[in-house]
Amino acid sequence: MKTMADYRDHFPIFKDKVYINSCSYAALSNEVEAAFLQYLKDRHEKGADWIDWCDRLERVRASFAELLSAKSNEIAVTTSASASLSAVSSSLELSGPRKKIVTTDLAFPTEAHAWHALKKHGAEVAHVKEKDGMIDLDDLESVVDQNTLLVAVPLVCYRNGALADIPAIRDIARKSGSMILVDAYQGVGAVPIDVNVWDVDFIVGGSLKYLLSTAGVGFLYVREDLIATSRPTQTGWFAQEDIHAMLIHDNIPAKSARRFEQGTPSVPNLYAVEAGLQMILEIGVPNIRSHVATLNERLKKGIQDIGAKLMSPLDPDKHGAMITVASTDEYALVAALAKVGIIASCRDGNIRISAHFYNNNDDIDAVIAALSDNKGLLA
C-alpha cells in the first residue's frame, strides 16, 4: 500500500522547492503531465476523436460524482466554477415573490458577482456578515426569510481558510424554503463531501486546486429532483438531450444536470482532470483530510511559538486545508519565502499556507523557520 511519502515522488517540484500553495494551484504530478502529452499524441495520431473525447467527458463526470457521493446524472462538467455559477443564475426564477439571494462577506468574488448581476432582473442581494472569521449564523438567520430564493455560501473561505458548517446553514435555509448553493472550490479534494449528508441543491467547484489538475474544467452538482424544473438560459449544444441532433429550431435540454453545460468541453484539460481525479480517489479524501490535519496542527503550534498572528480558526474542525497568517506586507512576505524556495500565496493581508497529501513535516518546519526569519513582515 502506498504511503503519502510515496505519492510525493510523483511531483517533481519537490526536488528543489517547498510547494505549499495548493489553495491557489496544485503541484503538477507526472501523471497529469503525461495526460497532457497524451492529448497531444492523440491529436497528432488521430486528429479529431469525438467518440473518445465524449467518453472521456463521461468518465470525468463519473469521477466527480464519486468524489461527491452523487449520481452521475446530477453532475454537469463545465469550464469553470464561474460557468457553473452563471448557469445556475440563468436558471433562477425571479418572477415570483422570492427575489432575495443571500450571499456572505466570505464569498469568493465570482460567486457574489453572479448574484449582483441578477439585479437587472429584479433580484435583491443581501450579504451576511462574518464573525470571528466565520459566517455569522445568527446574522444568516435574521437575513433569510420567506422572500429568499437562494442562500449561497463558501465551504472554505479563500481569504482565511474558515470552514463553514454546511448542515447548520442548510437547516436555516430550509426553514424558509430557500434553496442552498455551496461554493466548494477551496475545499473539494481536501475536505470530504457527501451530498447525501449535506442535502443541498447546488455545489460548484473546479479542478485546479486540491484536485491536482488545471484550469479549464469545473463541475456543478444539481440535486436530482431539482433538475427537471431548472431551465438555464445560459446553454449550448452539449446541454441538449441529443448533442448530435443538431437541432436549431428548439431548445430541448438534457434530462440530467448536463442541461447546465454549454459548448464544446475543454478537451485537453479533460485528460489532465481525469488523471488528477484518479489520484485523489485512489488516496481518498478522508485520508487526505487526516494527513493535512496533522501537518496543520504542527504548523499552527509553530506559528504561535514564533509569536505570529494566526488568522484561521484554531479549532481544526473549523478550517480547511489552508492556514493563514497576518502580515504587514503579504506580497513582500510571499516574495521573501520564494527566495528560499517556499511557494505560497496571499490574500487580504494574510499569507496563505495550504498543505496537501504530498507535503510533510519537513515542509512545515521550513515554512515556520522562514516565517521566523521574516518577523518584520508579520503582523
Q: At 152, which CATH number?
A: 3.40.640.10
Q: Compute the average pLDDT of residues 83-107.
A: 96
DSSP annotation of 109 reads: H
In this prediction, residue 1 carries a pLDDT of: 75
| Cβ proximity of 351 and 334 under 8 Å | yes
> What is the CATH number for 350?
3.90.1150.10
Q: For residue 351, what pLDDT is reported? A: 98
Structure confidence by residue, pLDDT tens digits, 207-240? 999 999 999 999 999 999 999 999 999 999 999 9
Mean pLDDT across the chain: 97
Q: What are 320-358's pLDDT values in tens digits?
A: 999 999 999 999 999 999 999 999 999 999 999 999 999
pLDDT tens digits for range 264-296 = 999 999 999 999 999 999 999 999 999 999 999
Whether 40 shows a pLDDT value over 80: the answer reads yes
Question: Is 44 part of a structural domain of the chain?
Answer: no
What pLDDT, on a 0 to 100 scale, did the predictor assign at position 349?
96
Per-residue pLDDT at 182 exceeds 90 = yes
Q: What is the mean pLDDT of residues 67-75?
A: 98
* 36 in a structural domain: no
Provide the edge-to-edge strand list for the sheet that holds 100-104. Answer: 75-78, 218-222, 202-206, 179-183, 148-154, 100-104, 124-128
pLDDT for res 304: 97
Cβ contact 210:190 at 8 Å:
yes
Domain that holds residue 218: 49-280
CB-based contact 206:176 (threshold 8 Å)? no
Same domain, 369 and 309: yes
Is 68 in the same domain as 200? yes
Handedness of CA 136, 138, 143, 148 (dihedral sign): positive
Judged against a pLDDT cut of 80, whether residue 61 lies above it is answered with yes
523557520: which residue's cell?
A: 369
Pair (290, 273) in one structural domain: no
Query: What is the number of alpha carbons within 13 Å of residue 74 lying toward its C-beta?
Result: 24
Q: Assess whether 155 and 68 both reside in one domain.
A: yes
Mean pLDDT of 40-67: 97
Query: Mean per-residue pLDDT for 73-84?
Result: 98
Task: Please say which residue of 261, 280, 299 terminates a domain.
Answer: 280
How many of the other CB atoms lie within 10 Å of CB of 34? Answer: 14
Please check the confidence at residue 107 and state whether its pLDDT lies above 90: yes
Last residue in a domain, options 252, 280, 308 = 280
Q: How confident is the model at residue 2 (pLDDT cuts 50, 70, 90)?
A: confident
Q: What is the DSSP letter of 95?
A: S
Are the C-beta atoms of residues 211 and 26 closer than 8 Å to each other? yes
Mean pLDDT of 139-164: 98
- Given this model, what pLDDT does residue 261 score? 98
pLDDT, mean of residues 83-101: 96
Contact 38, 53 (CB under 8 A): no
List the grid coordinates of 271.
485528460
Check whether residue 260 and residue 309 sit in a common domain.
no
In this structure, the answer to whether residues 344 and 248 fall within a common structural domain is no
- Residue pair 97/123 in contact by the 8 Å Cβ criterion: no
Which range (138-142, 234-238, 243-247, 363-367) has the least confidence?
243-247
Judge whether residue 46 has pLDDT over 90. Answer: yes
Given strand 345-347, what is the order of strands in its sheet? 322-326, 350-354, 345-347
Asked if residue 62 has pLDDT above 90, the reply is yes
* Lookup: cell for 334: 510571499
